[in-house]
Amino acid sequence: MLQQIKNIARGQRQNEFFWRYGFNFRPSVNYKLNFPVEFNANAEKVVENLNRDGIAVTSIDELLADKKPFAELESAVESMLASRRDELAEIKLKAGDASAIGEKTFNVELLGSEVEFDAESVFARFALQETFLNIANAYFGMLVKLRYYNVWQTFATVGAARESQLWHFDREDNYILKLFLYLKDVDEGAGPFTYAPKTHRKGGLWGKQPEFSLEQNVMRSNDEQMSAVVPKENWVKGTGKKGTIIFADTRGFHKGGEARTDDRLMFTAMFTSPASDSKRLLHFPDELKPNSLTKKQICALEIK
């Protein structure tokens, strides 16, 4: 009986009205009543593109007036790479191990798979910037939660595309907003994030499922299968210089990390609704003091 109730609740969650005003009532109403939209023109354009296409490509220069957080982030990542040079070189040797399906050996989370939240760290401060929260809240129409942040190094490999290198969509919520910030130039050979526009819930192609195969019970599609739903010429291939920022609703179809000629380095963050099925990817200390955080930042965290 309990499982039946859970299945019914999960089904209702797919309904936009129940998802917003049932499962996410308080964050939706709180946002509308107490948090007026605060945008610069470039951030407003990002939200417009997200609503229409499910993806928006911008840059540090266009979006953020204060470049100091980016400089601090770059410095922290450079120090991390230097201190772990030998370890990462050894990991890279195993990056192409296609037998380790499910381990994503071609991609390393430099902060670890379970991130201990530290409000004073450069990584948390960067993810919680006001501009990013404004974009996420406006796209969802509610006060979102920051579920994850990390730095990814994706190693160049050979062999057939696998796992997230194939087309798929994320399932943890009705909307899932991810931010990808390139920390070095990304060309076609470095595995750029690639998106099939309008396949998100707000888009005109929502619900159109390409043919797929199952990889550990996850639906994956190749380029030929995806092109039958969204022509290849319409795909958004996120190549760009260092400082490029991509916002994408990964409830739509996407792929990335198929690096062939060069490694990819980027910072990433994920925002969901408070009622998301996402597992807890950030771990908060018992004595977290929110004194240094704004009201909007506190709302974005799993703290009181």
User: Which H, E and C letters describe the chain, residue by residue?
Assistant: CHHHHHHHHHHHHCCHHHHHHHHCHHHHHHHHHHCCCCCCHHHHHHHHHHHHHCEEEEEHHHHCCCCHHHHHHHHHHHHHHHHCHHHHHHHHHCCCCCCCCCCCCCEEECCCCCEECCCCCHHHHHHCCHHHHHHHHHHHCCCCEEEEEEEEEECCCCCCCCHHHCEECCCCCCCCEEEEEECCCECCCECCCEECCCCCCCCCCCCCCCCCEEECCEEEECHHHHHCCCCHHHCEECCECCCEEEEEECCCCEECCCECCCCEEEEEEEEECCCCCCCCCEECCCCCCHHHCCHHHHHCCCCC
Residue 286: per-residue pLDDT: 76
Residue 30: per-residue pLDDT: 95
pLDDT, averaged per 10 consecutive residues of the chain (304 residues), comes to: 48 86 95 88 97 98 96 98 94 72 78 91 96 97 96 90 92 96 96 97 96 89 96 97 98 94 96 91 78 86 72
What CATH number is given for 17-299 in this structure? 2.60.120.620
Residue 157: per-residue pLDDT: 87
pLDDT single digits (tens) 195-219: 999 999 999 999 999 999 988 788 9
pTM for the model stands at 0.93
